[in-house]
Amino acid sequence: MQRWPCYIVCALALTGCGGSETEVEKNEFRVSEKGIRYERMKPLGLDREVRRLLAKMTLAEKVGQMTQVTLEAVAEDDEQGNAVLDEEKLRTAILTHHVGSILNCGGQARTVDNWRAIITTLQDLATQETRLAIPILYGIDSVHGANYVRGATIFPQNIAMAATGNIDLVKASAEVTALETRAAGIPWNFNPVLGLARQPLWSRHFETYGEDAYVVSVLGAATIEGSQGSALSDSRRVAACMKHYLGYSVPRSGQDRTPAAISDRELRELFLKPFAAAVRANVATVMVNSSEINGLPVHASPYYLRTILREELGFKGFVVSDWKDIMNLYEREKVAASQREAVKMAVMAGIDMSMVPYDYDFCRHLIDLVEKEEVPMARIDQAVGAILRVKFRLGLFERPYPDPDLVESFAAASAQRLNLRAARECLTLLKNEQSRLPLAKTARVLVTGPGADLLSTMNGGWTLTRQGDQESLYPQEKDTILEAIQKKLGSDHVKYAPGVGFDSVKDLNAVLHLAAEVDVIIACLGEPSYCETPGNITDLTLSEPQRTLIGVLAETEKPIVVVLTQGRPRIVRDIVDQAQAILLAYLPGMEGGTAIADALFGDVNPSGKLPFTYPKHTGMFTPYDHKHSEEAPPNRFDPQWPFGHGLSYTRFAYRGLNADRFEFKQTESVTVTVEVTNVGERRGQEIVQLFLSDQVATVTPPVRRLRGFQKIELRPGQSEIVKFLLRPEAFSFIGVENVPVWEPGDFDLHVGDLSQTITLVADLKGTGKK
């Protein structure tokens, strides 16, 4: 008899699949002709019903649950841009191949009504015409709002949300996104992205929460909590999906879906922590890195998918591949000799669901592998059990159809107000020479640059289409930067000429002519919209036409205010000295135009802070938590702007940095307090950041690490005591044996321009002094 890895047997216990059944609790339920409709499912009963359902399923039905196809495989667009399901293709998918999951938007955003009709038809077929009535699990990339639903609330991208420094705001935006996604009938969201933005060339930089592991951990967990709530069965919630596990965000080349090189110690010190936090937040699903770490494709790695994810982190949900990535093990990565071998490698490594996305070769190969006993049925049961458990937790067996009551809450006025607040709070003032900003509302201004009159440049990828570049699909009632400024000042005070495109010079003479008639120039620069591999670049420098525009404008000697709308930090070293003020808007979403105009003219005080280190040179991408040798003379740490940088129209003073104990043991927490006062003349918000430096360690310590942040708002003259709790894990690091260690010695606390030293002392169980 063939023997299988012990992890499969252990996993069956974790998912409640396999083994004998013990009646622990009674559940109320009714049985229909098409299966079981569960009225009130208690946790222990859920495991029991998963086992019962598995016992009824054929091999083909189980493999179908592990298969996910894209909407394009079963639908086409009509002339009005609605997705129309192809009945024959749909019946082939669901009735012949027993497909359990469908994803994607079919090329562009759909109306709420179109989405609800699609989901209703899918569930009719799955729950009324299949033997076991297992509902379809539909998944979508609602990465900054329900961005594939027309008319939805489209928030700033994640990198901008990180700049707000507002945890509650991030959670609230996730709640709105979940409700509006679920209003369309879609219960599964492929978000949050938990990669660390430490390779600024990467085309998905804007989807992350920045370069710091602590920030990404906190905001990722907040997103999961806002998405899933306290119960996935709540019809206003969605199952979250942490992605892209693991190491996807730091390709050596900077090109999307290419290899990363990460030591095991660095992996655990930095890149694994956000995923560990997500697991603690009870995230329902995980999507896998499309590429490789140290030569091992993650889709084929038992080490990453079983040893670390399941055994070390304790993840209990199911694992979905990324787009076509099981077949890519054969076609691109070249670690499998055939499609069949690729399927075997991925499933045995720990992939539970394959994002196929167009054909049914995965089903055919996996069925053959099980029938030939190359993949054990126990492994199939583990995967399918995990998938079914999420479907049960979402309440899909009870309520597979869209909730009609949610339509009334879709794109509510309160959601729009929240969106505007997020767009305002993300804005980061990088430079404000001689307090050039805010501008007077009586000023005559010239608005120029390629980003001035486009909505797409403020939203980026994953907006209405994957690339987000179809300007005609954007809601015309939303204001571009130009339109918002015109509304603010009146059209007679605003001149406009783009001057250049992102990659071409248009009419610089027209810009110069208009510049002579105004008091100040507002140049809207940055990037066109992009996403994933089509967004690959080899040079991070801001495009030459845009730099030329600023050079020409500087010759007029008129004050220049630069507004940057971009998904990654383009090198602007050449133009920094030519501009009197620079406002970084990131990708601020549909309310970005209004928010930018509010900040430029003083109705809003900018309060964002950089969630990444903004590089000055294309050859130096050094993060803030670098090592001491990287700044020891003659080396220099010389970014354009440091992590955490962000100016305000007011000033804040810090005093009284203190700890409740200056000596503490490994098991003890430390409470840190600091008083912050608004010493300026305007109300303002401040993100108070606490950094920690380990003076000496057996593994070279970073110069500092962020260990806490809070956002506060103060009136002029108002003070507030800000409190941070440093738990024991804040003082640990991954040691030489690749496990967390605590070493007695001195630590420096840093808040603002203040510092204080505290000491971790050895006790009888300690490791001795440094």
* pLDDT tens readout for residues 43-70: 558 999 999 999 999 999 999 999 999 9
Q: Cα–Cα distances in Å, from 723 out to 50, 221, 684, 713?
A: 46, 21, 19, 15
Q: What is the mean pLDDT of residues 139-152?
A: 98
Q: Cα–Cα distances in Å, from 328 out to 242, 244, 321, 375, 627?
A: 21, 16, 11, 20, 37
Q: What is the mean pLDDT of residues 376-403?
A: 98
Mean pLDDT in the chain? 94
CB 589 within 8 A of CB 419: yes
Q: Residue 11 pLDDT > 50, yes or no?
A: no
Axis-axis angle for helices 213-228, 167-183 (nearest 10): 40
Q: Cβ neighbours of residue 757 under 8 Å, at least 6 residues apart?
A: 662, 746, 747, 748, 749
Q: Is 187 left (phi over 0), alpha (psi -120 to 50) or beta?
A: alpha
Q: Cβ neighbours of residue 632 under 8 Å, at least 6 residues apart?
A: none
Q: Residue 41 pLDDT > 70, yes or no?
A: no
Place of tokens 């979508």: 140
Look at 38-42, 85-89, 579-583, 739-743 and tell me which has the smallest mean pLDDT. 38-42
pLDDT score for 40 = 42
Place of tokens 């979940």: 178
Report the helix count and the strand count for the chain, using DSSP H and E. Answer: 22, 30
In whole angstroms, give the CA distance from residue 152 to residue 428: 25
Q: What is the mean pLDDT of residues 266-270?
A: 98
Q: Strand, coil or helix: what is 300?
A: helix
322 is a catalytic site residue: yes
Among residues 293, 294, 363, which one has the least CA distance to residue 326?
363
In which band, very low, low, confident or very high, does the pLDDT at 39 lie, cut at 50, 70 and 90?
Answer: very low
Q: Cβ neighbours of residue 655 under 8 Å, at least 6 residues apart?
A: 674, 675, 677, 754
In whole angstroms, give the CA distance from residue 264 to residue 269: 9
Among residues 507, 556, 549, which one has the least CA distance to residue 525?
549
Helical (H) or strand (E) element with 585: strand 581-586
Within 13 Å, how many C-alpha atoms sit on residue 339's CB side? 13
pLDDT score for 631 = 96
| pLDDT tens by residue, 523-580 | 999 999 999 999 999 999 999 999 999 999 999 999 999 999 999 999 999 999 999 9
pLDDT score for 542 = 98
| pLDDT tens by residue, 92-134 | 999 999 999 999 999 999 999 999 999 999 999 999 999 999 9
In whole angstroms, give the CA distance from residue 491 to residue 628: 53
Question: What are the contacts of 364-373 at 24+ separation with CB within 8 A?
Answer: 365/339, 365/340, 366/63, 366/66, 367/59, 367/60, 367/63, 368/340, 369/340, 369/343, 369/344, 370/59, 370/63, 371/59, 373/2
User: What percentage of residues in the chain have a pLDDT greater than 70?
Assistant: 93
The one catalytic residue among 47, 212, 256, 322: 322
Among residues 348, 294, 295, 288, which one has the least CA distance to residue 317?
288
CB 568 within 8 A of CB 206: yes
pLDDT score for 45 = 85
pLDDT score for 436 = 97
CB 758 within 8 A of CB 726: no
Phi, psi of 75 (to 5 degrees): -150, 160
Q: Residue 29 pLDDT > 70, yes or no?
A: no
Q: Cα–Cα distances in Å, from 401 out to 92, 406, 407?
A: 21, 12, 13
Distance of CA 339 to the CA centre of its chain: 31
pLDDT score for 188 = 98
Distance of CA 384 to the CA centre of its chain: 27
Pairing of strands 354-355, 428-432: unpaired
In which band, very low, low, confident or very high, does the pLDDT at 9 lie, cut at 50, 70 and 90?
Answer: very low
**Count, residues in the chain:** 770
CB 185 within 8 A of CB 120: yes
Burial, 21: exposed, middle or buried (Cβ in 10 Å; 0-12, 13-18, 19+)? exposed
In whole angstroms, give the CA distance from residue 566 to residue 163: 13
| pLDDT tens by residue, 479-522 | 999 999 999 999 999 999 999 999 999 999 999 999 999 999 99
pLDDT score for 337 = 98
Q: What is the mean pLDDT of residues 764-769?
A: 45
pLDDT score for 44 = 59
Paired strand residues for 641? 614
CB 288 within 8 A of CB 305: yes
pLDDT score for 522 = 98
In which band, very low, low, confident or very high, does the pLDDT at 18 lie, cut at 50, 70 and 90?
Answer: very low
> What radius of gyration do the chain's Cα atoms show?
27
Helical (H) or strand (E) element with 13: helix 6-15
In whole angstroms, give the CA distance from residue 674 to residue 697: 27
Among residues 147, 201, 145, 199, which one has the least CA distance to residue 175?
145
Q: Is 191 left (phi over 0), alpha (psi -120 to 50) or beta?
A: beta
pLDDT score for 10 = 35
Distance of CA 455 to the CA centre of its chain: 21
In which band, very low, low, confident or very high, does the pLDDT at 763 lie, cut at 50, 70 and 90?
Answer: confident
Could you say which DSSP state residue 124 is in?
A: H
Q: Is 483 left (phi over 0), alpha (psi -120 to 50) or beta?
A: alpha
| pLDDT tens by residue, 177-208 | 999 999 999 999 999 999 999 999 999 999 99
Place of tokens 């401040």: 686
Helix, strand, coil fractions of the chain, as percent rounded to 5: 35, 20, 45
Tokens representing 487 are: 């509304």
Phi, psi of 443 (to 5 degrees): -70, 145
CB 315 within 8 A of CB 278: no
Q: Cα–Cα distances in Å, from 16 out to 101, 377, 389, 603, 762?
A: 21, 15, 9, 56, 43
Cβ of 459: how many Cβ atoms within 10 Å?
29
Q: What is the mean pLDDT of residues 620-643?
A: 97
